[in-house]
Amino acid sequence: MQNVVQSQLTIVFEPPFYQAVFERWYQNQYAVARVNCGTVAPKSAVILDLVMYHWDAIHWYQQLDVDTVQDSRRVNPKRLQRLARKAVVNGTSTKAQLALSRQHEDQHATKRIALRDAKQRNQAERFEQRQAKHREKHRRH
């Protein structure tokens, strides 16, 4: 069996920023990533630089066992043009949007847990400092 990695890049304008949405299919695994491109529409050279030299810096959100299998046959160029035109009108795929929203929720939950733990550690440390200060004050009486 041949291992084929399929990728798709969509540039989306979500005011005020342009964002690059990467989608990747590999052996029934689906991964999606979003990269902020700034407030100016990215030029081809910037996109090429991102794909060629910064591909390893992209943080992928992995989704295992995708039901839909991508077709690996060669697609007619006119059909590709129609699909590209349709993608421009419709924007990013629903699957990518769902995966990115799940990624955002997961990051939010982990950040909330980390902040709660840090707050508890900070409160315990402050309590210990107050207790040590209290003991030091009353030590010599």
pLDDT (average), residues 17-27: 87
Query: Residue range 47-74: average pLDDT?
Result: 76
Q: What is the CA radius of gyration of the chain?
A: 24
Report how far Cα 75 is from the mean position of its chain's Cα atoms: 29
How many residues can be counted in the chain? 141
> What is the Cα–Cα distance from 116 to 119, expressed in whole angstroms?
5
Nearest to 21 by CA among 49, 53, 52, 61: 61
Q: What is the pLDDT of residues 71-99, one digit of tens each?
A: 567 788 898 888 888 877 776 667 777 78
> Please, what is the average pLDDT of the chain?
84
Q: Helix or strand or coil: residue 2?
A: coil
Tally of CB atoms within 10 A around 92: 19
Task: Specify the pLDDT at position 80.
Answer: 83
3-state SS class at 45? helix
Residues 6+ apart with CB under 8 A from 35: 19, 20, 22, 50, 58
The band of 118, judged by pLDDT with boundaries at 50, 70 and 90, is very high
Give the model's pLDDT for residue 123.
97
Mean pLDDT confidence for 38-60 = 90
Q: How many CB atoms lie within 10 A of CB 42?
A: 17
Res. 48: pLDDT tops 60: yes
Query: Which pair of tokens denotes residue 53?
Result: 């030299």
Q: Which two tokens stand for residue 11?
A: 């540039």
What pLDDT score was predicted for residue 127? Answer: 96
